[in-house]
Amino acid sequence: MSEEARLRENICAMARSIFDRGLTAGASGNISARLSDGGLLVTPTGSSLGRLDPARLSHFDAGGRLVSGDPPTKEMSLHQAFYETRNEAGAVVHLHSTHSVALSVLPDTDPDNVLPPITPYSIMRLGKVKLLPYFSPGDPGMGDAVRSLAGKRSAVLLANHGPVVAGKDLEAAVYAMEEMEETARLVMLTRGHGPVLLTEGQVRDLVRKFGLEWEN
């Protein structure tokens, strides 16, 4: 099986897993992954992550031209912005996952770091997650907002919309997105109960031990 064929199958399998576990619903959410030649495979607009056809994924060449497949997600500006500003990005996942969206609309959510250090794993997989303002779906301003971060964040949360996560490959991006939603769920479950969070010293130790992106 060729690299492209394998990646097409993996995108559809990962997307189906995300959908089956209720991390996104209906025709919401989108995924892209980079090929070794610099091209992209992208989930089509209006498609359910639970019912993707590998042969109909949008295929862009390294110059950003659509060369085959259905029209891509209208959130292409988000995906392109991560690839342009983070050279190591091999995949981008965007969902409308429930707990992350809920966290995005609460007035006391820290816009510079939306996830309190409730476990080490969100720190290890996501670093600091920036809250970006609301944009209308498909607004290219979302991509501009990501570009303004100059590649310093691997994950953002769009207010009233949902999370976007970049990873070194498809699996890393999906696992980081799952960690994002699970941590948001924990935050919502413990809100108002005075949870004991990791200390600044414990966070610094994680950052030092695992060489994490944090001080930005």
Going by the DSSP 8-state scheme, the letter that residue 188 receives in this structure is: H
C-alpha torsion sign, points 143, 149, 151, 156: negative
Q: Can you give the CATH number for the domain in which 109 is found?
A: 3.40.225.10
Query: What are residue 94's DSSP bridge partners?
Result: 30, 164
Residue 85 domain flag: yes
| C-alpha span between 185 and 7 (Å, rounded) | 30
Residue 164 domain flag: yes
pLDDT in tens, 136-176: 999 999 999 999 999 999 999 999 999 999 999 999 999 99
Residue 215 domain flag: no
What was the pLDDT predicted at 162? 98
Q: What average pLDDT does range 195-201 have in this prediction?
A: 97
Catalytic residues: 75, 121
Q: Which domain holds residue 198?
A: 3-210
Give me the chain's average pLDDT, please: 96
Residue 216 domain flag: no
Residue 37 domain flag: yes
Tally the domains of the chain. Answer: 1
Phi, psi of 125 (to 5 degrees): -95, -25
